[in-house]
């Protein structure tokens, strides 16, 4: 026997309240738990998308994944002052951390650019680091500077004193 009405001590109709069926109450609890789990997973999905994008003020600029190649490219960009002695770069951002939001792309030369300024297919590489390492002038300069530094460090050993 299930009780559907609860009179709370008096038999008057105004004091009577409807008591829910136990099975219906269980189904309602299960349904509420399922809806809560769905809402939680949707919230997690939107939060993860917000972390990947730069935000609404940056038009939801989506970021690429930070791979080893991308990390190497950013480190090389920071050290670009040391690659060519003739070029001056205004800022190198040594103190700043690696960027959180970035995108990699390919520069496509237009028809209005000089053919001599373009890279040939043979000169093109997969990453920026590979392109720099394939440049013969940069390799020669860095090798020469590294040899000079090693030679300077080798001469700073203990010197013998001459006795009179």
Domain that holds residue 34: 5-52
Residue 45 lies in a domain: yes
Percent of the chain whose pLDDT exceeds 90:
15
Helix (H, G, I), strand (E, B) or coil at 156: coil
b/e code 4-43 from CB counts within 10 Å (16+ = b): eeeeeeeeeeeeeeeeeeeeeeeeeeeeeeeeeeeeeeee
pLDDT of residue 44 exceeding 80: no
72 and 39, same structural domain?
no
* Same domain flag for 24 and 76: no
Place of tokens 């738990």: 33
Pair (45, 121) in one structural domain: no
**Interval 89-110 mean pLDDT:** 81
Residue 13 pLDDT exceeds 70: no
Give the pLDDT of residue 1. 44
152 DSSP 8-state letter: H
Q: Are residues 44 and 88 in the same domain?
A: no
**Structure confidence by residue, pLDDT tens digits, 50-70:** 677 777 778 788 888 889 999
Q: Are residues 42 and 100 in the same domain?
A: no
How far does CA 21 lie from the centroid of its chain? 53
Quote the pTM value.
0.56
Q: Are 103 and 38 found together in one domain?
A: no
Q: Are residues 16 and 85 in the same domain?
A: no
Residue partners of 20: CB distance under 8 A and separation at least 6: 28
């Amino acid at each position: 026997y299930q009780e559907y009405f609860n009179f709370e001590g008096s038999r008057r109709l105004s004091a009577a309240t409807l008591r829910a069926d136990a099975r219906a109450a269980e189904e309602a609890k299960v349904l509420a738990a399922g809806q809560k789990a769905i809402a939680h997973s949707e919230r997690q999905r939107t939060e993860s998308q917000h972390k990947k994008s730069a935000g609404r003020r940056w038009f939801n600029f989506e970021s690429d994944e930070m791979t080893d190649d991308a990390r190497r490219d950013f480190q090389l960009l920071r050290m670009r002052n040391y690659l060519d002695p003739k070029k001056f770069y205004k800022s190198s951002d040594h103190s700043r951390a690696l960027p959180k939001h970035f995108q990699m792309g390919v520069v496509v030369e237009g028809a209005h650019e000089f053919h001599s300024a373009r890279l040939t297919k043979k000169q093109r590489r997969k990453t920026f680091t590979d392109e720099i390492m394939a440049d013969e002038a940069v390799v020669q300069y860095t090798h020469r500077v590294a040899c000079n530094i090693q030679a300077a460090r080798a001469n700073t050993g203990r010197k013998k004193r001459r006795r009179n």
